[in-house]
Structure 1
């Protein structure tokens, strides 16, 4: 009897050779775009979401966004933000032509904070239009109050329901976490975070320490709910997480989260996007189990087989199919040759590799291209 998708993924999480290569793509944005723009092919008429699409193609599920509302957030959906008494959150959504504009205001004892996001219908993507931190001193005071008032509550029931729906096809891989440094990126933008760290080092340290403890509490909740693997949604690119920043601001969180997961028999991943060459050895040394969506040239700066070598003998890497491939490869033979060459190179590492998106599937990808990748994986993934 062939090994189930779940069994193959479990083998990789244990660093044991799976019966075949795991193929767990990310079709989140692609499916939402084609559904909302009425572009789905007739074969997918019965699909409600990307999980149905993955099941339709007979692929593996190792998904951190199957449950995520594509029009409201970049990640998350299983952990509810909770605020201490005296701090409240107000959220409003309005239409602007076909776009959706979300305005989110936190009222703290030290003043309000407001951010604005826009779901761009034409591109099926969420963009930040205004950050919580605008550079004012009053904003810094209010953010201090928010960070110390905020915790998260994991919805174990919703997680169990999603995992039951996945069944033997694989795992829901909750993407609810983000590091202390990512806290500043989300609040101020990656560029302005640099100035915050330079101008207000002690204040930033206090924010990051408080955020770290709140996030580790969330890690413990997920482990108590039986989550076998989780992921921090940090976009771990050396351009924004250079080695000295990673060591100074995020390493302790990654190490502590990894230790908590290992003590419970679980694994801890980080979402990676962009350039990773400079940080691979450091990330591996912290006990992190895997990097999701590692980019390779021309989008990244390290080939996947080299990344697996640089990362020691235990770090798992997912990726291999970027927008460059799904848009550039125009025929079945093109896709077949690409997948054959990639899996041949990565055969020695199939116990530490999952074929997936690096890090998304372009909305411009044709449906037949997704089918061709599935067919090539079936042919060469054994």
Structure 2
């Protein structure tokens, strides 16, 4: 099939494209390559896909030097006309929308960036899918939508009307927007609530990257909520495998689903939402110990209070994903951290 992957230079987008190309699929990747974090890391990811940094210019199509069925275009999601032209030309069958303005804390100080990329940008993707129909739109949501919820594990049947950051609110808005377009225009759409994704080529603003970097340099790490945080850390390969399994199973709506499926995330529209998480809530201090083991160095801890927009814990219920798709993530935390630290040392020549 022919795939569009947005956020191609990002952590998850890059990892998805790599596996799709290895499976022999045809892929177009787009990314704005903004400077939210180190752009050189983004260029390095693209280099691994055969895209030369020196050739990248806005709106210019670049063919991969490594994969014959991949090409890349630097484009902003906010550019509605360019996006529609791309859909008209390429006639995509599946859209994997991974692009977004990421980061919970950044949304406290830069709210407009989230409205532009996550709301206006997603609307443009939906409009493009409306006017140039696709077989399936799969988009990245986030465990952040559970916000102030305290019942664990988080289930897709839970109410998610209490976000605690604009990032979370934008992701919840995406789910509502997708349902509207699925209902009105019959666009099969699936939202995937990712739980704290980590692994090789990960984002520099995430805890694993920050902690590993500081520990290897002998600098203190910032431990928020005095180490009492819990997260459902999910390895990148598990996320990619889940996305690709879901991508081949577009939802059909409740009328064509089996009896007993009338749940909160079911609808007469071809629409579905799933959690993708490791189904284990790991204490932050245990996470740090796993990094210490992988690096062979002890961390110096700077214990700090909870930050605005953060939640104390996350834990994914993935039973509906397993029931419908037959998949659940299972990479042990130590194994995943070991792989990241090995990549980190190699990439930064440490």
TM-score range, shorter chain: 0.3 to 0.5
Higher Cα Rg, which structure: 1
The two structures have a TM-score, normalised by structure 1, of 0.34
